[in-house]
Structure 1
Amino acid sequence: MNEESPEQADVLDRAASAFVELRPRLFGIAYRMLGSVAEAEDIVQEVWLRWQDTDRETIENPQAFLALVTTRLSINLAQSARMRRESYIGPWLPEPVDTSFDPTVGAERGEALELAVLLLMERLNPTERAAYVLREAFDYPYPQIAEILRLTPVNVRQIVSRARKRLTAVRHEPIDRVEHRHLLETFLDAAQTGNVGALERLFAADVVSSSDGDGIRGSSKFPVLGSERVARFVTAFSPWFWSGAAITWVEMNGLPGVLVSRDGSGVALLAIETSREGIHHLLWILNPIKIEAFERSRSRFVTT
């Protein structure tokens, strides 16, 4: 068996240190690209394996190289992920991430992180999404994005501008965190008491309720639209859903959200999209796999 020389061990240690330092950023890129914690972690693991096998002496800028590999792998996976989601039972929502430890998930800014925004970005193709994420969240210069995407800087500017306009056209102007939490608190009070009138007053006219359960019993397979229908939908399941449930406030994708538990196990995560007009979107995460992943991520930051 060949023993590793001290020089080789030192080289690998330096490679590992460089990677560990950049890991939050690499995860942040992949997560925004894919809307999935599990898939983002798979990408980061693959990048690490490639980094070990790379002739690192030829790499002048490790950060640029690792961002390039992460983005290209994410683009490839995003193309196949779209096809897989076509077989998903019911609405698909991005997998939430705990942001109590890293509020911006490795980025220069917290852009493209809220669940509602990640969902809107599904309208962009993978290349558009990559250009938008790298520029808006991580503030990469256009020439570097162009190198990553194998495009010209002029093309990248155009892509980012178009993506920004497309998202701005359909995104509601957000309110501050305090108002956001107040709306969610008020919703919870009205939902638990089955107060249809109070719920309707909270909702914007275009409100949507989406339940991500991938076919789990009790989750709606179709989005519910309109303030009256959503209010009646919420009150219809309130007697059994909230009975015996415990509510824990969590930091979810940069905004306050709630974890609903029963008998010590999470049964739902709830996030909302809001504006001055009220609540536009109720995002119910009921898929046990996504809930368990979120609870595991919380356990790294919450002391018992």
Structure 2
Amino acid sequence: MSTTTAPTVRHSRTGLAGQLSELGVEQNGVLLVHASMRAVGPVSGGVRAVVCALRDALGEHGTLVVPAFTPENSDTSSHYLDRVRGLGDRAREAVRASMPPFDPAMSAAPSMGRLAETVRLTEGAVRSEHPQTSFAALGPLAGGLVAQHRPDCHLGEDSPLARLYELRAQVLLLGTGFDTCTAFHLGEYRVPAPPCRSYRCVVTAEGRRQWWEYEDVALDDSDFAALGADFARADDGAAVRTGAVGSSTSRLFRFTDAVDFAARWLPSHRGAVPVQALCHAPG
């Protein structure tokens, strides 16, 4: 008895660009992307072809933005806490001593995925200088978007997220869920009296590797999946468009809609629930 294996569908740059346009990606617009290449599936040309497809859909004057976060250089991040869980004091200190200081030109962002890293490394890309929650961007508005990212403001009014809000950017969840949606974090800054906490990371100051501690809004993405589900249902689903891109089910929506919804939703759903460590961005 013989068996036949179904051929693997391999997507093309042209096909992906067409799907992105059909989903509603705006020509000459600004697009923040969170992506799972595994969900997109095999693509001729690999991840670089996906970046090209995104830029094709955006057009010559469009701007592509991705997170380039670095939890690897912080000892208050969930990444670090997972890494040292069960280790003794000496082993923990060895991990801390091995952490490289943040360098916007050189520091990799492996936890953000292959597409984000490819955008960051593409010729012409620029990156904001926050030592934990930087963003990388390509396109004519990239420089202004990432400029003046204040080092003690992760994802608030002095970050690229506020600039994306002003530009009425779109957000594309390319095969990912709402739990990765950084737009919701700007909503956390816009609730009345948001709770704050301390953060610590390794930086270079005066030519030397140093630990730097600062206070900022206590970021918490533990309920973003529930927040996103309610956002997708609001107004009979008018705010969120869903469609196939490659093998993935992807979602597209306006950045302002997501932030405004989060700012309304969070105060009534969190209440006195203790703040959790940030999962998808450094803490």
Greater gyration radius:
1
Query: TM-score band (shorter)?
Result: under 0.3
Q: Which has the higher contact order (CA 8 A, sep 6+)?
A: 2
Give TM-score, length-normalised by structure 1. 0.23
More strand per residue: 2
More helix per residue: 1
Give TM-score, length-normalised by structure 2. 0.25
